[in-house]
Structures are given as structure tokens and as C-alpha cells.
């Protein structure tokens, strides 16, 4: 039996994953800023679920939550950094305070959680860290530059972290979901307060008042949760887990476009070294 610690379990993928983990017979620390929103999971699984209030931007609360979780179950086997939210804005429109809070949650909150669980994982020479990113980190849609940047930062950190932890028996996986039928495009989505008219046909198309996809996304969070569990438990777990037909298609399309660009400029790239002789 493994113990999972999942951030952001009140709705969406985090909640679906917590329910799936518990259904598989594992222990699960379910967290949310408002702990009452996950109490039903504990009521249904009193022996294996443990609810904690957690705001990942609060360093003291992060440290306390990890201590309590380790005290309850004896150790954390799988950390899932799921807590986060969306922010839509043209780059010029973005509020400095809004962007700072976005990174505090989506990136630095995950960093704080990683640093809190690693001492125990290193001591045991085992564990898994799962960082929930987004296909947005790969395709960088207009109007989602700051959100994509926060997830791209998490992915880059994950790549370095994997190289540091693999020799210690600890795995790291980044997950890139596409569009899933969660509350991401609803309650969990924020945007710049003052739109600029010049961006109406680019970033403006993605503003909440223009969004028509909420509630119709093709991805099933229940199936995504099962895929994450399967990948974590696999002896050949991937570093990058793509979730959704749209994510897979867009990921490959981006790679193809980058390859074509690099091929087209190969001569220029190679011609920047000192001449021989």
C-alpha cells in the first residue's frame, strides 16, 4: 500500500485522482485551501484518507502539512503537485501582482512541496514526484503566455530534478493534459482586468466571456486519473505523460515545427563557431 499526497483536491483532476487512488486501496492525503470541500472523501474512506487544509503559497502550512501526513501514514510515497489555476491575458495586459501570485501558486508552490517531501524520500531511497503541467507549456497559446510560462518553468525544473533524483531511487514525471472536463475554464480561471483592444483578435479570443468550450472539453478526468496511477506504478514510467488526443497531436505538431525551423536554419546555426586554422 502506497501513500499519495495530492495538492488541489477540491475539484477537477486532483479530486478525480484522489478518488481513484483511494479506490485502488492506497492511502491518500487530500488537500485543499478549504478543507471542508474534501471532507466527503475522508467520510467515505476514514482509514485511508486524511484531509488537510493547504495553501501551497504558505510555506509554514506546507511544512506542517507534510509533517502531519508523515505522522499519520509514516511517509509519503507519491507527491502530486496538482494545485494551480489558469490566467489569461495578453503579455502587455498582465498585472504584475496577478502574475506574481500565479507563479507563487503554479511554480513556487510546487517547489515548496518538493523540498518538503524530499528529505524523507532521500532517506528511504524511494518515492515518486508527479508535476501536473499543461500542453499549454508546449504550444504557448496567445492569451496564455503567463500561464504557459509558469508550467514551462515547472517542466524545466522537473527535467533537472529527474537527473538529480534518479540515482537516489526517486522518480519524477511531468504530466501534460490537454482539454479535460474540469473547472479549469470556469471557477479556476482568472484573467487580466483591463483588456487592450488591439489584442481582441488574438489574446482576446481566449477571455472568459468569449470562451465557449467550458463544459464540453473532450477529456475525461476519471480516465486521466487512472492513466496517472498506471504510469506511476509502471517500472518504465515516462518522464513526460501526455493526456488526451489533443495533447498528443499538439505536442507532436510542435516538435515537427521546431524540427523544420532548426533544419531550415541549420547552416546559420553551424556557422557561428571560430573558423579552423
Query: Is residue 211 over pLDDT 70?
Result: no
Q: Spot the catalytic one: 10, 48, 133, 150.
A: 133
Q: Spot the catalytic one: 87, 151, 158, 199.
A: 151
- In angstroms, the CA 229 to CA 225 distance is 6
Query: Is residue 112 over pLDDT 80?
Result: yes
- pLDDT at residue 239 in the model: 96
Contacts of 36 (CB under 8 A, 6+ apart): none
User: pLDDT higher for 274 or 129?
Assistant: 129
- pTM equals 0.92
Phi/psi class of residue 3: alpha, beta or left (left: φ > 0; alpha: ψ in -120 to 50)?
A: beta
Query: Is residue 213 over pLDDT 80?
Result: no
- pLDDT at residue 208 in the model: 74
* pLDDT tens digits for range 81-98: 999 999 999 999 999 999
User: What is the percent of the chain with per-residue pLDDT over 70, rounded to a whole number?
Assistant: 94
Domain 3-266, CATH homologous superfamily name and number: NAD(P)-binding Rossmann-like Domain (3.40.50.720)
* pLDDT tier at 17, thresholds 50, 70, 90: very high
Query: Is residue 165 over pLDDT 90?
Result: yes
Number of Cβ within a 10 Å radius of residue 164: 11
Query: Is residue 132 over pLDDT 80?
Result: yes
- In angstroms, the CA 98 to CA 87 distance is 8
Kindly list the domain boundaries of the chain, sorted by start residue: 3-266
Query: Is residue 185 over pLDDT 60?
Result: no
Query: Is residue 146 over pLDDT 60?
Result: yes
* pLDDT tens digits for range 222-277: 999 999 999 999 999 999 999 999 999 999 999 999 999 999 999 999 999 998 75
Q: Spot the catalytic one: 10, 87, 144, 147.
A: 147
- Say whether 85 is catalytic: no
Q: Is 82 exposed, middle or buried (0-12, 13-18, 19+ CB in 10 A)?
A: buried
Least confident of 94-103, 126-135, 206-215, 240-249: 206-215
User: pLDDT higher for 270 or 178?
Assistant: 270
- pLDDT at residue 80 in the model: 98
* pLDDT tens digits for range 24-34: 999 999 999 99
User: First vs last Cα of the chain: how many Å apart?
Assistant: 64
Write out the DSSP string of the chain: --EEEES--SSHHHHHHHHHHHHTT-EEEEEESSGGGGHHHHHH-TTTEEEEE--TT-HHHHHHHHHHHHHHHS--SEEEE----EEEB-TTT--HHHHHHHHIIIIIHHHHHHHHHHHHHHHHT-EEEEEE--THHHH--TTBHHHHHHHHHHHHHHHHHHHHHGGGTEEEEEEEE--BSSSTTTTTEEE-SS--GGGTTTGGGGSGGG---TT--SB-HHHHHHHHHHHHHSTT--SEEEESHHHHHHHHHHHHHHHHHHHHTHHHHHTTSPPP-
Q: What is the mean pLDDT of residues 175-188?
A: 72
- Say whether 147 is catalytic: yes
Amino acid at each position: 500500500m502506497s501513500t499519495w499526497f495530492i495538492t488541489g483536491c477540491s475539484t477537477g483532476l486532483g479530486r478525480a485522482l484522489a478518488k481513484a487512488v483511494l479506490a485502488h486501496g492506497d492511502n491518500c492525503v487530500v488537500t485543499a485551501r478549504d478543507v471542508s470541500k474534501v471532507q466527503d472523501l475522508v467520510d467515505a474512506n476514514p482509514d485511508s484518507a486524511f484531509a488537510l487544509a493547504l495553501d501551497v503559497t504558505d510555506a509554514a502550512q506546507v511544512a506542517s502539512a507534510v509533517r502531519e501526513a508523515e505522522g499519520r501514514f509514516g511517509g509519503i510515497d507519491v507527491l502530486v503537485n496538482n494545485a494551480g489555476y489558469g490566467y489569461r491575458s495578453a503579455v502587455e495586459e498582465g498585472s504584475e501582482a496577478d502574475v506574481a501570485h500565479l507563479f507563487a501558486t503554479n511554480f513556487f508552490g510546487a517547489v515548496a512541496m518538493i523540498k518538503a517531501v524530499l528529505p524523507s524520500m532521500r532517506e528511504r531511497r524511494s518515492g515518486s514526484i508527479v508535476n501536473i503541467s499543461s500542453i499549454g507549456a508546449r504550444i504557448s497559446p496567445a492569451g496564455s503566455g503567463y500561464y504557459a510560462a509558469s508550467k514551462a518553468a515547472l517542466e524545466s525544473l522537473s527535467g533537472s530534478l529527474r537527473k538529480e533524483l534518479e540515482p537516489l531511487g526517486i522518480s519524477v514525471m511531468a504530466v501534460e493534459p490537454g482539454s479535460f472536463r474540469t473547472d479549469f475554464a470556469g471557477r479556476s480561471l482568472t484573467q487580466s482586468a483591463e483588456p487592450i483592444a488591439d489584442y481582441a483578435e488574438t489574446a482576446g479570443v481566449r477571455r472568459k466571456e468569449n470562451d465557449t468550450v467550458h463544459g464540453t472539453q473532450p477529456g475525461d478526468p476519471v480516465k486521466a486519473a487512472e492513466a496517472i496511477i498506471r504510469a506511476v506504478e509502471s517500472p518504465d514510467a515516462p518522464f513526460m505523460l501526455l493526456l488526451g488526443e489533443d495533447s498528443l497531436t499538439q505536442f507532436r505538431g510542435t516538435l515537427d515545427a521546431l524540427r523544420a525551423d532548426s533544419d531550415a536554419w541549420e547552416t546559420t546555426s553551424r556557422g557561428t563557431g571560430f573558423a579552423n586554422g
